[in-house]
Amino acid sequence: MQSGALQKCIEPTCGLEYPISDIRIECDRGHLLDIKYKDTPHISLKDIFYKRRNHSNDIFNESGVWRFRELLNFCQIDTENFDEYSKCLVSLDGAEGRLSKPYHMSKVSDYVGLKNLLLQPEGYNPSGSFKDNGMSTAVTHAKLVNINKIICASTGNTSASAAMYAANENIECDVYIPAGEVAPGKLSQAFQFGAQVIEIKGNFDDALSASLKKASEVGGYTVNSVNPFRIEGQKTIVFRALEQLDWNPPDWIVYPGGALGNTSSCGKSLMELYEWGWIKKIPRIAVVNSEGANTLHTLYNGKFEDTNLRWNKGKPDVEIIKKYYTYMDKNGIRPKTKATAIQIAKPANILKGLRALEYTNGVVTQVSDQEMMDGMALVGLNGFDCEMASGAVPAGVKKLITEEIIKKDDTVVGILTGRQKDASIPVDYHKNPQNRFANPPRT
């Protein structure tokens, strides 16, 4: 049944393989895993995906994830047999990815100085962030291997998404969060959806370590983005953007940089599409770190020991990563930004992220909290809602245009990763008339 798909170590010099039914987040040598498919999906599927937008009450056609099910068919199901796929696939009634597509936002375009800028609000997913794309696939895999409890660490959005799918599938969910560092709107979702919240003293990286330790002790099923099935679902963010552009790739795809699951999934989707001959050009990825949580920016751009960290065709300098993490620990350097969704110092997917950047000739930049808040406010002035971390996208695009890395006639798709779940940030922003796009109340 499952012979057409497998799990494979990402490191070319290792390459260990495992069946889809294995529950693991790394190979026996500790490397990250990919889901690999043996068959090449036929390009005529583009028409089928488009036709499914008229979903005829099939929630899996309505879903912006499962509409593309042939491109993430790790269950090896008959994708045209409703009785079969409806038993296997996990969906929140077709809501994941249903409303997300790229939009033109004229005020953001004017501000950054780019005519062909499209922004895709993934906050319009059912739990309010891009995480639902990958959670629907990870929980599908959990169901496939008969798991009844999932575990994750979270800055808030992952726990909201995991808890929502767990509630809908009637399975248990434990979420490890850094105490006091999660936006109230996100924490409330975990409680509301019935997850068991475990508060960890420290930051997200500490919470992730604690959750992975617990998962390995009790044989728990981790749904963080180190789970390769999460990455499969997140590929559909790119599929939806490309479909909207009639599969003509933009020059750039821009993401905020946190744990780098998005960068990884973007890279994987582009690698597959290009390899299959579905796209003729590879867009460049731009990752935007927060200045307060800028590990990737630091290592990629040679700001630590003058070494530019690269995937290096599968032979990355992992020692420099370890050295930098030790340096941060020794010197008490902790990630610090009000954009808590990307307040991450040790991005778990850094190697997959580097692979994606190398494949796409990508760049990494960083922006300040103030620039992110300005970006967030500006998206709001176009009638769209996004959280502060997503404000990194307009801010980063503006910076890259100023630096003439993004050219003024380039086409750019930016991913707005989540909607606002901490009302105090925009309220405080708009009450202060000093802020560039403030809309202060009258007294």
Q: How far is the CB of 324 from Zn ion (least distance, A)?
A: 22
- Which one of 5, 7, 8, 9 is in contact with Zn ion (CB under 5 A)? 9
Smallest separation (angstroms) from Zn ion to the CB of 222: 17
| Nearer to Zn ion (CB atom), residue 27 or residue 296 | 27
| Binding window for Zn ion (CB under 5 A); candidates: 5-13, 284-292, 357-365, 413-421 | 5-13
**Of the listed pieces 23-31, 300-308, 352-360, 406-414, which binds Zn ion according to CB under 5 A?**
23-31
Q: Which stretch binds Zn ion (CB under 5 A): 6-14, 201-209, 345-353, 389-397?
A: 6-14
Taking the least distance from each CB to Zn ion, the nearer of 9 and 425 is 9
Smallest separation, CB 30 to Zn ion (Å)? 7
Q: How many residues does the chain have?
A: 443
From the number of C-beta atoms within 10 Å of its C-beta (0-12, 13-18, 19+), residue 442 rates as exposed
For residue 12, the tally of other CB atoms under 10 A from its CB is 9
Measured from the CB atom, is 11 or 205 closer to Zn ion? 11
Question: Closer to Zn ion at the Cβ: 175 or 351?
Answer: 351
8 A C-beta contact, residue 12 and residue 313: yes
When asked if residue 190 is in the footprint of Zn ion (CB under 5 A), the reply is no
Choose between 14 and 179: whose C-beta lies nearer to Zn ion.
14
Nearer to Zn ion, 32 or 373 (CB): 32
20 burial (CB, 10 Å; 0-12 / 13-18 / 19+) is: buried
Segment near Zn ion (CB under 5 A); pick from 14-22, 124-132, 270-278, 355-363: 14-22
Measured between alpha carbons, how far is 258 from 245 in angstroms, rounded to an integer? 27
| CA dist., res. 379 & res. 104, Å (int) | 11
How are strands ordered across the β-sheet holding 221-222?
196-200, 172-178, 149-153, 221-222
Bridging pattern class, strands 412-416 and 117-121: parallel
The residue (of 15 and 113) whose beta carbon lies closer to Zn ion is: 15
Tell which one of 6, 25, 27, 400 touches Zn ion (CB under 5 A).
27
In whole angstroms, the minimum distance from the beta carbon of 28 to Zn ion comes to 7
Interface residue with Zn ion among 14, 23, 45, 271 (CB under 5 A) is 14
Binding track over 311-340 against Zn ion, x by CB under 5 A: ------------------------------
Among the listed ranges 7-15, 86-94, 228-236, 307-315, the one in contact with Zn ion (CB under 5 A) is 7-15
Nearer to Zn ion, 18 or 247 (CB): 18
Side chain identity at residue 64, one-letter code: G
Tell me which stretch binds Zn ion (CB under 5 A): 9-17, 61-69, 271-279, 431-439.
9-17
Q: Using the rule CB under 5 A, is 29 a contact of Zn ion?
A: yes
**Choices 1-9, 122-130, 347-355, 429-437; region in contact with Zn ion by CB under 5 A:** 1-9
Residue 153 in contact with Zn ion, rule: CB under 5 A: no
Residue among 27 and 65 whose Cβ is closer to Zn ion:
27
CB of 405 to Zn ion, least distance (A): 34
Query: At its nearest, how many Å lie between Zn ion and the CB of residue 318?
Result: 12
- The HSE-up count of residue 194 (CA atoms within 13 Å, CB side) is 11
382: buried, middle or exposed (CB in 10 Å: 19+, 13-18, 0-12)?
middle
Residue 358, token pair as written in the block = 């190398």
Nearer to Zn ion, 31 or 131 (CB): 31
Question: Taking the complex as a whole, how short is the minimal distance between the CB of residue 31 and Zn ion, in angstroms?
Answer: 3
Min. distance of Cβ 33 from Zn ion in angstroms? 8
Of 29 and 51, nearer to Zn ion (C-beta) is 29
Separation CA 323–CA 401 (nearest Å): 33
Rule CB under 5 A: say whether 31 interacts with Zn ion. Answer: yes
Total residues interacting with Zn ion, rule: CB under 5 A: 7
Which residues form the interface with Zn ion (CB under 5 A)? 9, 11, 14, 16, 27, 29, 31
